[in-house]
Amino acid sequence: MTVFAANNLDEFIAETDRLGGPGTKAATIYWGDFSYVPEIVIDQSLDPFSDDYFKRQIELYRELSGRELSPGENELTQINIDDHVEAQNPYALVDPSKFVIHYLRLGFMVHDANLPHAPKILDMGAGWGLSSEFLAMLGATVHSVDVNPDFVELIRRRQARHRLPITSEVSTFEDFDTTETYDAIIFYECLHHAAKPWELFSKARRWLKDGGKILFAGEPVNDLWSNWGLRLDAQSVYCIRKFGWFESGWSKAFITRCFWRNGFSAAVDFYPNREVGYVCVAKKLDPTVAINAREMQVFLEESGEEWHDSGAYLVSTGDSTFDIPRALGAKEVFLEISNFRGALVPLKVYLDDQVVYDSSLAPGTWTIKFPLRENDTRLRFVSEPWVPAAELGSGDTRSVSLFFSSARFA
């Protein structure tokens, strides 16, 4: 194994380039046993949304890149625009077997999203414009945003050539804002460049129509970090060091949680074709419409020990937490809870540290209202567990408690 650290990263870049650069056979062999050992130690028990955790990841970025984080300066790629304007596709690639993966990812994403007729779409981090052209050819009206002026010029010139319904502008994720609203916002192979995706989702909620969706594909969902952090594989380290790109990644549970806290219900699904990878459809929640158990899958991703999945129900294991999506601005939540035990189930509910319910739930299905306060973030349900196989003679041998089928905020 070839181990690298901050003091020999320039050697790693030079040797990769000497061998022909990323994607060449020689460089791929050279990268085969790559390992990077950071000097910066990051405490993964810290709140991943906290300033402390973010600052440590930025320190790691400085170590890897040798520069300060500046998306407007570092996230740029120079291209020969004329060559790409006249090509069959924005990438100017002519290898169908390799190029088609982009259309597969985009196609699965659009299929899963169930978009309306002639949708209005915001394409964030549009890059070369491939995703914008694909969506426009499907009947969408697209507004493309990218940090790179060359990419935006390429999109404009190809739009004029093909007469597609695409407009475009130059902006970073952090600076972009609009008074327009869209049916969907997409991120294709670019969301991982956002330093704080949860803050981007907070802004993006304002840019969506009721029931609008955020979609992504081609993103690095992984378990390198418990929650999120810079990726340390050879490709990522090469791009961070040579270009200064911000190459982060997130666990499935964390990115799902980022959506939930900003008022979205996200389905992040892995396709059997590994090259397709993860595809996400995150729906903007309407606080007046009940959210079903499938839309609350964030709690399954967060902790398999707190909840079971039983199709139409989230099943508590006896000590389960329910985060409040504060972006909804709700003052109370109505939870539909079922007790299938055939006997009373003692239940105590905490709103953060305060007890807001202390009683026993009789058999049946009940809608219970819990008041919310502005700064409270979590409900905790402590209830008596039981085993259906032992008490009801069913085939369910899990330790369960109460069954949650929907939530409505007001």
User: Strand, helix or coil at 293?
Assistant: helix
What is 176-210 written as a DSSP string? ---S--EEEEEEES-GGG-S-HHHHHHHHHHTEEE
> Residue 326 — very low, low, confident or very high, per pLDDT cuts 50/70/90?
confident
In terms of C-beta distances under 8 Å and separation of at least 24 residues, what long-range contacts does 311-314 make, across chains too?
Answer: 312/405, 313/338, 313/403, 313/404, 313/405, 314/403, 314/404, 314/405
Query: Is it true that 51-284 and 292-409 share their CATH fold?
Result: no
Query: What are the structural domain ranges in the chain?
Result: 2-36, 51-284, 292-409
* Residue 332 · residue 309 · CB < 8 Å: no
What is 20-37 written as a DSSP string? T-TTSHHHHHHGGGEEE-
**What is the rounded distance in angstroms from the CA atom of residue 35 to the CA atom of residue 8?**
12
DSSP label of 362: P
Q: Indicate the average pLDDT of the chain.
A: 94
User: Strand, helix or coil at 17?
Assistant: helix
| pLDDT above 80: residue 375 | no
Give the residue-averaged pLDDT of 361-374: 93
For residue 171, the one-letter residue type is S
* Residue 133 · residue 166 · CB < 8 Å: yes
User: How far is residue 81 from each of residues 78, 155, 374, measured CA to CA in Å?
Assistant: 9, 10, 51
For residue 363, the one-letter residue type is P
| pLDDT above 90: residue 76 | no
Residue 72: the pLDDT is 84
Residue 341: the pLDDT is 96
CATH node for 51-284: 3.40.50.150
- Report which secondary-structure segment, H or E, holds 405: strand 403-409
Tokens 């000497």 identify what position? Answer: 18
pLDDT tens for 225-278 read: 999 999 999 999 999 999 999 999 999 999 999 999 999 999 999 998 889 999
**What ranges make up the beta strands (E) of 271-325?**
278-284, 291-292, 307-309, 314-316, 319-323
Percent above pLDDT 90 for the chain:
85
Residue 287: the pLDDT is 85
Give the residue-averaged pLDDT of 61-89: 92
Nearest residue to 399 via CA among 409, 390, 387: 387
> Residue 303 — very low, low, confident or very high, per pLDDT cuts 50/70/90?
low
Most confident of 56-60, 77-81, 309-313: 56-60
Give the residue-averaged pLDDT of 302-313: 82
10 Å CB burial of residue 194 (0-12, 13-18, 19+) is buried
How long is the chain? 410
Nearest residue to 64 via CA among 148, 2, 7: 7
Residue 302: the pLDDT is 61
Q: Which residues contact 174 (CB under 8 A, 6 or more apart)?
A: 71, 195
CATH topology of domain 292-409: Jelly Rolls (2.60.120)
